[in-house]
Amino acid sequence: MIVTINNDEGETLFDIAKVKDEQQQNEARIIVQKTGTLSVVIEALDFASRTHRANLEKLLDSCPEAKVKPKVKKDKTSES
């Protein structure tokens, strides 16, 4: 399994299958799996968040009584 690591020094490719120590190779595979799982979860949470925001906006747009006009802040420098 080829893994690409991007950091300040640039891009480096590693072949996990070439790691000689079996324990380190297994640990590397587990870390890759965990990282992949976290990426999927992050993407799912982002999608869910955007969907909920869109649903909230749609719901509130249908309730004109809930609209509030923002207060205009007076500029203190223009009063002087």
What pLDDT, on the 0 to 100 scale, is given for residue 11? 96
The answer to whether residue 72 scores a pLDDT higher than 90 is no
What pLDDT, on the 0 to 100 scale, is given for residue 75? 73
- What would the pLDDT profile of 40-50 be if each residue is shown by its tens digit? 999 999 999 99
- Give the whole-angstrom CA distance, residue 69 versus residue 78: 23
- Give the whole-angstrom CA distance, residue 64 versus residue 36: 44
Kindly list the domain boundaries of the chain, sorted by start residue: 31-62
DSSP 8: T
In angstroms and rounded to an integer, the radius of gyration of the C-alpha atoms of the chain is 25
Q: Tell whether pTM > 0.85.
A: no
- What would the pLDDT profile of 12-25 be if each residue is shown by its tens digit? 999 999 999 999 99
Residues forming a β-bridge with 6: 11
